[in-house]
Structure 1
């Protein structure tokens, strides 16, 4: 029996269990896909404060935001966030927000700064 890979603090490696978020086929993922998860309560506040929101999924406990691959490079996501390489999450989620304009992604820097503010954590620069 194969065990899932280890989980780093705040970051999920590509788990062997769970599922990849189902990206809408008509939204090209030209930059690859990772996901940032946060508790639903934080996610609703963050969504209301961002000027641009891409695809967002919900699994009951968390909202998962689609960001370009590598959006964890040089960023220490706050303790409330889980970063998932390849947008693989431990479970299933449904799409709850789809952008009106073309574009799959939520810009990661505004997402990061807004989440830090909502969580009461100062953003840390590179």
Structure 2
């Protein structure tokens, strides 16, 4: 936050996006937050991206680094840094979960070496697009 001429505060676009998201989260959210394994830290916050479980084994080998991956009955959940949905339209049927809040109990199926739980979001996005037969949004033709 910086000072504006005249003494008021100026908020960055990132701050406004976070504030807007915070105002939409209900007080009693029935979803569950994915927890980090012991010894791991999330300096950039955590969001999660889900893909159908059948695609998980196809996506993982395409990634330069696989972070924490959780699984429920039908999906694999990949931890990514907060705001990894900014300017990216994740392809359906992928799901993006702000705050790593998921609808079901999950179990950890992959823990990376080290202390950082993230899968890099852009390679994950590209691998998901490829596995789902989707075109990345920045590659789509623009129509008037």
Taking structure 1 as the reference length, the TM-score comes to 0.85
Whichever of the two has the greater Rg, that structure is: 2
Quote how far apart the aligned CAs of 1:14 are: 4.9
Of 102, 107, 112, which residue of structure 1 is paired with 2:115?
A: 102
Secondary structure (helix, strand or coil) at the match of 1:66 reads strand
Q: Gapped runs of 5+ residues in structure 1? A: 1-12
- 1:76 corresponds in structure 2 to 89
Q: Deviation per CA, 1:11-39, whole angstroms, max 9, x where unpaired?
A: xx757113111111311110000000010
**Deviation above 2 Å: which 4+ runs of structure 1?**
none
Q: What are the equivalent positions in structure 2 for 1:17-56 lying under 5 Å apart?
A: 17-56=30-69
Q: Deviation per CA, 1:89-122, whole angstroms, max 9, x where unpaired?
A: 0111010000123321000000000110110001
Taking structure 2 as the reference length, the TM-score comes to 0.74
Query: In 2, Cα distance between the equivalents of 1:103 and 1:121?
Result: 29
Q: Is the 8 A contact 1:14 1:86 kept in 2?
A: no
Q: Is the 8 A contact 2:45 2:81 kept in 1?
A: yes
Q: Name the one with the larger helix percent.
A: 2
- 2:21 corresponds in structure 1 to none
Provide the aligned length of Structure 1 versus Structure 2.
114
RCO higher in structure (CA 8 A, sep ≥6)? 1
Q: Gapped runs of 5+ residues in structure 2? A: 1-23, 140-144
Query: In 2, Cα distance between the equivalents of 1:66 and 1:103?
Result: 10
